[in-house]
Amino acid sequence: MARQARAIQTRESILLAAAAVFDERGYSSATITEILQRAGVTKGALYFHFASKEELALGVVAAQLDLGELPPQRTKLQELVDHGLLFAHRLLHDPLTRASMGLAMDQRRDAVEPAPPRGTPYQAWIDRIDQVLKDAEARGELLPHVVPGDTAELMAGAFTGIQGMSHVLCERADLTRRVIVLLQHILPSIAVPAVLPTLDLAPDRAERLLSARHDIRPEIEEPGGAPGVPAPRRTVAVAAR
């Protein structure tokens, strides 16, 4: 049991190190050697968990998707808003989220190197948004012409572009504001009018969600935190602040 706990901790350290290196260097320039150094684990330990750089990338994306559930809200469209605002918050604070975004946006197509799994994060984000929109549709929150799949793809793509532009222009300092502007432009085209004034799009919404909920895992800034596995101490610490 102690051995299993140690294996889980090793896997986490590797994923966080990989996320940090992918984020800083890009997938193509990242090396297993640097990830090993950063994680402070042996080559054997790394290859026990991940057979290749691509598996590391897929592990990072899976861990990002597994970051805390959102609390249910009175409308599914508020949950959609919350997804967007929390994702923006995580891009500012969580290396797993930044690394997943970096993979999606990686443009290098060198013949030498197998391409990063660029489509995987997009597809996962689209599926997640699509599900929330389908639930919203079932509850009568969407205007009748809305095609959830189209809107989900639009939101995944537009969000990615907006955060990329914010990254280039100001290191994401204005990201929350830009995501609110995106939501303010999209929501009136998809929501039944009565839902619109009930939606909370305030800039501090993500922080309020994180501090109010015990079961949302905190953002992880360094090895020792836990992507994809329970981290009870830190969760309590966040719940108490």
- Sign of dihedral through CA atoms 166, 171, 174, 175? positive
Q: Which pair of tokens denotes residue 163?
A: 């955060």
Residue recorded with tokens 């190197």: 113
Q: Is 15 in the site for a second copy (CB under 8 A)?
A: no
Residue 144: CB minimum distance to a second copy, A = 14
CA 88 – CA 210 distance, rounded (Å): 13
CA 106 – CA 92 distance, rounded (Å): 19
Q: Is 41 in the site for a second copy (CB under 8 A)?
A: no
Q: Is 201 in the site for a second copy (CB under 8 A)?
A: no
Q: Is 33 in the site for a second copy (CB under 8 A)?
A: no
Q: Is 97 in the site for a second copy (CB under 8 A)?
A: no
Window 146-175: contact mask with a second copy (x via CB under 8 A): ----xx-xx-xxxxxxxxxxx-xx------
CA 56 – CA 12 distance, rounded (Å): 11
Q: Is 192 in the site for a second copy (CB under 8 A)?
A: no
8 Å CB contact between 157 and 43 = no
43 versus 185: smaller Cβ distance to a second copy:
185
8 Å CB contact between 92 and 83 = no
Binding stretches for a second copy (CB under 8 A): 24-26, 29, 102, 104-110, 118-119, 122-123, 150-151, 153-154, 156-166, 168-169, 178, 181-182, 184-186, 188-190
